[in-house]
Amino acid sequence: MKRFLHYIDGRFEEGSAQFQSLDPATGQPWAEMPEARTEDVNRAVTAAERAFFDPSWSGLTATQRGKLLYKLADLVEANAPKLAQLETQDTGKIIRETSAQVAYVADYYRYYAGLADKIEGAHLPIDKQDMEVWLRREPVGVVAAIVPWNNQLFLSAVKIGPALAAGCTLIVKASEEGPAPLLEFAKLIEEAGFPKGVVNIITGFGPECGQVLTSHPSVAHVAFTGGPETAKHIVRNSAENLASTSLELGGKSPFIVFEDADIDSAVNAQISGIFAATGQSCVAGSRLIIAKSIKDEFLARLKAKAEAVVIGHPQDMATEVGPLCSQRQRDHINAVIKASVDAGAKLLTGGVDCERDGFYFPPTILDCSEVPNAPCVTTELFGPVLSVLTFETEAEALQMANDTKFGLASGIFTKSLTRAHRMVKGIRSGIVWVNTYRAVSPVAPFGGQGLSGHGREGGLQAALDYTTVKTVWLRTSDDPIPDPFVMR
């Protein structure tokens, strides 16, 4: 059985304990993972704090930090096939997706490599004649970066890249469900030549790892991707150290199709939006809100495509939908579907466990047009399950889209430019895709509002989130400062 190690202060080491990781394609153990407990977390934070002040890191120019990130990007690109294979093995994500996604991760590191020496301060036109005042942007300090299992290499890159560009140091906590690719990625940090302690990578469970890390007095910023309930615990923990937070949480994203939309294009985008990554994506377009006049035609095409999806082993390049990450996730989906059908939702396709080893679940479509508050409509399932609602007016479509506590992503399909602008303005979400879906770029900020969190990942804004502003006052007059107690 393969054995993985933590990376703390430039050393690869065992955790205080070990646990087995299951292969989602078989449900069987395939690797031993290190489990970080309080003492491991404390050593990692101590290493990151020491490295933050050490001249080997703090003495580097922004350009030199950028060169290290460029080297890391090249290493990610060169090792993408191996990293993709590990991510598929440990999480069940299909190899055709992980191969493309991991290769693209290198572009994120290159973007932040180029941005490192472009994080600028400002000169203020102050209202005092004998003063010069300017702002310096400086690294916020030690960062705790916590990522989920579903896309660890990407979701860590949008934290590690901007944090290092800004000059911070990090403790990265890989998800205990599928940590293999990030623990392997630590070897590339070592090979790229980052000073010891600048990046530390661990994994472990809640109380003795995550809680200790997010409440540690030396942690200045917590960057988290995951669910809102865990995020609430993190915010409570951050009261202990007053760390700032950036939270990229879940979603129940509306996918709105108007009667004038290109149906073929919208169907393909919906298939990608909900069934790609086996639906295990925070931006999954899980609520189809469709004009009543085209519902039957649209659903007929969608159902046919859903039933033609190739379900198979995630390492097979022909596979289009692989297993869920865990049995716990499959149990949750089954329970919500049953409750939704009991409430009146109509099962159009799928909805029953696949009869094979592993944690497989088929593409599923539920018509909820008569029960818009069914559990599957309001609950994030994190699986290949689509809920269908219908509307007759634009105002009704907008109301349905905003009828959620989440606000991460949304999709709008229409040929009307004026309607698209009205919907973009009215919809409450951090991302709006018009006549496309799931497009991402290192240049474009990514994040949400409401229960989908706050802060942004990607783009310049992400790097600024890892900085703090220092105001500098310089008196330019050579005259003595007047006696403050002599009235003039």
Give the catalytic positions in this structure. 248
The Cα 205–Cα 230 span in angstroms is 12
114-119 LR contacts (CB < 8 Å, sep 24+): 114/66, 115/66, 115/162, 115/165, 115/460, 115/463, 116/62, 116/63, 116/65, 116/66, 116/69, 116/164, 116/165, 116/166, 117/61, 117/62, 117/63, 117/66, 119/62, 119/165, 119/166, 119/463, 119/464, 119/467
Q: Are the C-beta atoms of 311 and 319 separated by less than 8 Å?
A: yes
Query: Which residue from 375, 284, 288, 386 is spatially nearest to 332, judged by alpha carbons?
Result: 375
- Give CA–CA dist 169/47, Å, rounded: 9
Strand partners, 18: 34
Residues 328 and 291 sit within 8 Å (Cβ to Cβ): no
- Judged by DSSP in three states, 210 sits in helix
Gap between the Cα atoms of 295 and 289, Å rounded: 9
What is the β-pairing status of strands 244-248 and 346-349? unpaired
